[in-house]
C-alpha cells in the first residue's frame, strides 16, 4: 500500500514539476500561468505533448528545443525530478493519512517559492496566499476525517506563534529577514503545527541551521561577499520539509538524547 501510494504520488509529482517550471518562470514576471500554452522561450513554437513529457523529453532531445535547437536549461528536468522524488517521499510518509493532499500541496508550493526566491529574492503573495488557504481547508478536512481537532488548533497556534517570532526578528533586523520570510513562517508554523510541537521547533530551527551553514560556507569559499544577500526562503523550506518527512524519528531521537 505504502509503495503504491509513493509510486503514484511520484508520477504525479513529475507532472506537477513540469507545471512548477511554468509557475517559477511566469509568476515573478507577472504573466498568466495558464495562457499562452508552454512554448520555447526563444522561437516561441508551442510545445506538443511529446515535447512536454517530464524529464523524458529533455533527455530525448538532449536538452535542446526540437524546433530551433536552442539549449534548454537542465534546471527544467531537475525541478521535475526533484518534485517527483519529494512527492514520492511525502506519499510514503502520509500513505495512511488524510493529510496527504495537504502536504503534497505544501511541497509543490515550497519548491516554487524556493526557486523564485533564489532567483528574484521574493516570495510572491500570489503563491503564498492560495497555499495558506489550501492548507487551512485541507488540514481542517483531514482533522475532521481523523477526528483530531486538537491538531488543527495546534496548527493555528503554531502558525500565529511562528509569525510573531519572525515578525520580531524582522522588526529588529529588517535587512536580515525580509517580510516575505515572515509571511512564509505562518505557512510553515501552521503546516508543521498540525504534525506536532516537536516538528514546529525542529523544522524552523533546522531552517536557520541550514541557512547559517550554507551562508558561512559561501562566504568561506568566497562565492559570496559578507554583505551580499542570501535568500532565506529556500533554507526555511528545506528545514520544514526535513521535519514533514522525518519529524517523527528526529523528534524521538532528540527526546531520547535528553534522557
Ligand atoms: Zn525553440
* Interatomic CA distance for residues 11 and 15, integer angstroms: 7
* Interatomic CA distance for residues 15 and 52, integer angstroms: 9
Q: Which residues surround ligand 1, an ion (CB under 5 A)?
A: 40, 42-43, 65, 67-68, 70
The pLDDT tens digits of the residues spanning 144-175 come to 999 999 999 999 999 999 999 999 999 998 88
The pLDDT tens digits of the residues spanning 15-63 come to 999 999 999 999 999 999 888 888 887 888 888 888 889 999 999 999 9
State the cell numbers at 187. Answer: 505557512
pLDDT of residue 124: 97
How far, CA to CA in Å, does 71 sit from each of 22, 51, 68, 199, 221? 17, 14, 9, 42, 30
State the cell numbers at 83. Answer: 518534485
Ligand 1 centroid vs 72 CA: distance in angstroms? 9
Helices (H), 27-74: 56-60
Ligand 1 centroid vs 32 CA: distance in angstroms? 20
pTM of the model: 0.94
Amino acid at each position: 500500500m505504502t509503495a503504491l501510494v509513493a509510486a503514484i504520488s511520484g508520477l504525479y509529482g513529475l507532472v506537477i514539476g513540469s507545471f512548477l517550471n511554468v509557475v517559477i518562470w511566469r509568476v515573478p514576471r507577472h504573466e498568466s500561468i495558464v495562457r499562452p500554452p508552454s512554448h520555447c522561450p526563444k522561437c516561441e513554437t508551442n510545445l506538443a505533448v511529446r515535447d512536454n513529457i517530464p524529464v523524458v523529453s529533455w533527455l530525448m532531445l538532449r536538452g535542446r528545443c526540437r524546433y530551433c535547437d536552442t539549449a534548454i536549461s537542465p534546471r527544467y528536468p531537475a525541478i521535475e525530478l526533484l518534485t517527483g522524488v519529494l512527492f514520492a517521499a511525502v506519499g510514503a510518509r502520509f500513505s495512511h493519512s488524510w493529510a496527504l493532499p495537504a502536504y503534497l500541496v505544501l511541497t509543490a508550493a515550497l519548491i516554487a517559492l524556493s526557486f523564485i526566491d533564489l532567483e528574484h529574492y521574493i516570495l510572491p503573495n500570489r503563491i503564498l496566499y492560495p497555499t495558506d488557504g489550501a492548507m487551512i481547508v485541507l488540514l481542517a478536512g483531514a482533522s475532521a476525517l481523523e477526528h483530531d481537532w486538537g491538531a488543527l488548533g495546534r496548527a493555528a497556534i503554531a502558525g500565529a506563534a511562528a509569525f510573531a517570532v519572525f515578525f520580531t526578528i524582522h522588526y529588529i533586523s529588517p535587512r536580515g529577514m525580509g517580510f516575505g520570510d515572515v509571511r512564509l513562517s505562518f505557512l510553515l508554523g501552521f503546516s508543521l503545527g498540525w504534525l506536532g510541537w516537536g516538528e514546529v521547533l525542529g523544522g524552523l530551527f533546522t531552517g536557520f541551521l541550514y541557512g547559517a551553514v550554507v551562508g558561512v560556507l559561501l562566504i568561506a569559499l568566497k562565492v559570496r561577499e559578507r554583505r551580499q544577500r542570501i535568500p532565506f526562503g529556500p533554507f526555511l523550506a528545506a528545514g520544514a520539509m526535513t521535519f514533514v518527512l522525518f519529524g517523527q524519528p528526529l523528534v524521538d531521537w532528540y527526546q531520547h538524547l535528553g534522557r
